[in-house]
Amino acid sequence: MPYELHYWPMIQGRGEFVRLALEEAGADYVDVARQDDDSGGIGPMLDRLSDPADPRPPLAPPFLRDGDVVVGQSAAILLYLGPRLGLVGASESDRIWTHQLQLTVADAVDEAHDTHHPVGVGLYYADQKPEALRRAAEFRDERIPKYLGYFERVLAANGGGRLVGANLCYADLSLLQLVDGLLYAFPRATAAALRRTPQVAALHETVARRPRLAAYLASERRIPFNEDGIFRRYPELDP
C-alpha cells in the first residue's frame, strides 16, 4: 500500500522535506491533496485534522499515513521514514545524530519563515513589512552564515560530501532544500554565505544531480517556489 502524504497542494512548504525523501528513495507514495480524483484534494487532510474520533491527531500538515499509522511533524515523519527508505544509518548513534541535524535544519527553516512573518502568522506580509525588514537584516547578516557555517563544519569533519557517514541521509536532502530555499528567498546573502561554505554549496549541487532527485526536481511534481510558502522572494528583504 503506498504511503499517503497529506499537505497543502500549492506550496513546497514543510511537506517538501518529506517529498524529497520519498522521491530520492523511489518510494511508492501518493501526494493526496494534489490528486484531482474523488479521493484527492485537501478534503481528506482537513477531515483527518478535525476528526474527533482520531486518538492521535496531527495538529497541522504535513502528515504521513502508512496503513494504520499517522505521523505528523516533518522531522518526526523523517524519523519514521528514514530506516524504511534507507535514508539513515543503522546504529542508534547515527540515527540520533541525523535527527539532531534535521532539527537544526528545521530551526533554520522556522527562522526563514519568520523573516516575512515576524509579528504573526495570522497577518499578511504587507501588514508587518517594517518588522520584516528589521528581522531579515539579522537573518541575512548573522543567521544564514551561522547555520551554513555549522553545516560546513559538520561536512568537513565527516568528509566525503555527506553529513553522516558515507551514505546519503534524509538530513542531506533537507539541507539541500534549505539551501535551495535560501537561494530563492535571499539570493544575494545566500550566495555570499555559500562562497564561505564550499562543502555546503557542493552538497547542494551534487545531491540535486542524483538521478531520481534530478528527475523529480525537473518534473511537475516539484511545485515552484512562490510567495505563499516558507521561502519567499521579497527583494526588499535581500537588498
Q: Which residues of this protein are in contact with its own copies, per CB under 8 A?
A: 54-59, 69, 71-73, 75-76, 79-80, 92-93, 96-97, 99-100, 103-104, 110, 114, 118-123, 128, 131, 134-135, 137-139, 142, 150, 153-154, 157-158
Minimum CB distance to its own copies smaller for 50 or for 219: 50
Cβ contacts of 234 within 8 Å, gap of 6 or more: 116, 125, 132, 185, 227
Q: What angle do CA 69, 70, 72 make, to 5 degrees?
A: 145
Minimum CB distance to its own copies smaller for 35 or for 73: 73
Minimum CB distance to its own copies smaller for 122 or for 211: 122
Least distance (Å) from its own copies to the CB of residue 17?
A: 13
72 is written with which cell numbers?
505528523
Least distance (Å) from its own copies to the CB of residue 218?
A: 32
Minimum CB distance to its own copies smaller for 157 or for 218: 157
CA distance 156 to 198: 10
Least distance (Å) from its own copies to the CB of residue 103?
A: 4
Minimum CB distance to its own copies smaller for 45 or for 213: 45
Distances (CA, A) of 233 to 68, 116, 140, 168, 177: 39, 10, 13, 29, 15
Three-state SS at 189: helix
Least distance (Å) from its own copies to the CB of residue 165?
A: 11
Q: Got the DSSP string for 47-103?
A: HHHT-TT-SS--SSS-EEEETTEEEESHHHHHHHHHHHHT-S-SSHHHHHHHHHHHH
Minimum CB distance to its own copies smaller for 200 or for 213: 200
Contact 33, 9 (CB under 8 A): yes
Minimum CB distance to its own copies smaller for 55 or for 211: 55
Least distance (Å) from its own copies to the CB of residue 149?
A: 10
Phi, psi of 118, deg, nearest 5: -70, -25
Least distance (Å) from its own copies to the CB of residue 141?
A: 9
Least distance (Å) from its own copies to the CB of residue 125?
A: 14
114 is written with which cell numbers?
519568520
